[in-house]
Amino acid sequence: TMSCSHPDLGRWKRELGSSHCGVCLPCTIRRAAIKKAGIDDNSIYRDKDFLDLEAKLNLKSYQLGLAHPCNPILAIQKNGPITDRQSDYAELYQRGRIELKEFLDTII
């Protein structure tokens, strides 16, 4: 599957075909989920280690966002009202934040 938010950026580097960048938020969440599931990730990523300047900025922004505590009930409401099973969705949100932080801690 392709989860990258900009898979064709490699064209600027004369790459053939599309690939995951490895550093956008969808790619980072994908990588964290694959790692948490214990699955071998055979995907091709343009920058697995956040080496590019823009990638480093992305990494810092993810770390900054995760460093600040948030109220998960309020956070899940930002995209629209959720009235049913709020605690289930809030717990899922919190588990996702933890999963992402654990993955990012392996990058540093």
Tell me how far apart the alpha carbons of residues 99 and 61 are, in angstroms, rounded to a whole number.
Answer: 16
Summarize pLDDT for 63-108 with one digit per residue, the tens: 999 999 999 999 998 888 888 999 999 999 999 999 999 999 998 6
DSSP string, 41-53: ----BS-TT--SH
Summarize pLDDT for 2-25 with one digit per residue, the tens: 788 877 776 667 766 678 889 999
Tell me how far apart the alpha carbons of residues 93 and 70 are, in angstroms, rounded to a whole number.
Answer: 10
Answer for the pair 70, 34: CB distance below 8 angstroms, yes or no.
no
Letter for the amino acid at 54?
E
For 49-70, what is the mean pLDDT?
94
For 34-60, what is the mean pLDDT?
93
Tokens 């998960």: give the residue.
Answer: 72
State pTM to two decimals. Answer: 0.85
The predicted structure's pLDDT at residue 8:
72
